[in-house]
Amino acid sequence: MQRFNIEPTAGPLAQQLQNKIDGKTKPLGALGQLESLAQQIGLIQQTDAPKLSAPQMLVFAGDHGAAKAGVSAYPQDVTWQMVENFLAGGAAINVFTHTYGLPLAVVDCGVAHEFGERDGLINYKLGAGTANYLETPAMTAAQCAQAMDNGAALVERYAKAGCNVIGLGEMGIGNTASASLITHCLSNQPLDACVGRGTGLDDAGLNRKQQLLAQALLRTGKMSDPVKVLQEFGGFEIATMVGVILAAAERRMVVLIDGFVVGAAALVACALYPAARDYCVYCHRSAEAGHQVQLAAMRAQPLLDLGMRLGEGTGVALAWPLVQGAVAFLNEMASFASAGVSEKT
């Protein structure tokens, strides 16, 4: 696994940005969270006139060996079927990215299906899904490192094309169970607080999911090392997203984080490199119970709270106009001085 050089964004520019925001023709703080978002993006880019260039939405797909044990309400085949739906333009993420003009690509990190070469599909397949973490580590140390390296390579590819803002979504039957285990291990919160209904489990299904995840933890014992936790319980798509987050932060890119599963990747990334948190914009609050634990652990205030739990990056796509709006007001809104408007006395 490669090392990353990620610098905190804090510095003297923060006050300069705040002064610029406060000088706009509005009462102090009147744009609420958009003001802190504008400052964050300015600090990421180290300028008081940030620009959003060649944005890219990516959906990372992978299968999970534990899915066949009953941690999800849906069969594993739904993963590849939904990837086909993405490629055909029929999923929610397609609708939202099309509506808001956000380019979309799908990354096959390890789906148990062969798609062949397809427009809009990037092949970083590491195998036909991870191993069953109820019996053995989900992936080998080499696979985990390769997945993260793949994520870093993907960032390099887009950065060379001028991209400075990247959105993360995911697809993988069983991946909320992986996210629950990662969240429990890295937040020190009880497992029950980190487990939700995923794709729609009923009460009996939720109880079974909790029991199976408790069984997985009995196999490993208590762990806190983020890479080991990722290797034991993660998915190829989650590990690839960890590499994306870290490489994007190293390149001072804005990283748009979706809900619970992408949040698990962010939790790992920020546990490895705490400064990576400065580059993450948390787009929405998922209805999944464990997402509340993640947000608290990362001291994150999401932009939207719509009760969603779909995944796919839908929260990112819906929040994208807010990100654009934050940069636009910072750059284009008149100041009291330029507009000749009297300030508060």
Residues carrying an active site annotation: 312
115: Cβ contacts below 8 Å, ≥ 6 apart = 80, 83, 84, 87, 108, 121, 123
CA atoms within a 13 Å half-sphere pointing along the CA-CB vector of 216: 31
Per the CB < 8 A criterion, the answer to whether 144 and 227 are in contact is: yes
Q: How far is CA 186 from CA 112, 150, 190, in A?
A: 28, 23, 11
The single residue listed with the structure tokens 């932009």 is 303
Q: How many CB atoms lie within 10 A of CB 96?
A: 21
CA atoms within a 13 Å half-sphere pointing along the CA-CB vector of 91: 26
φ/ψ of 86, rounded to 5, equals -60, -45
Q: How far is CA 314 from CA 85, 236, 256, 326, in A?
A: 15, 20, 11, 19
> CA 151, 153, 155, 158 torsion: positive or negative?
negative
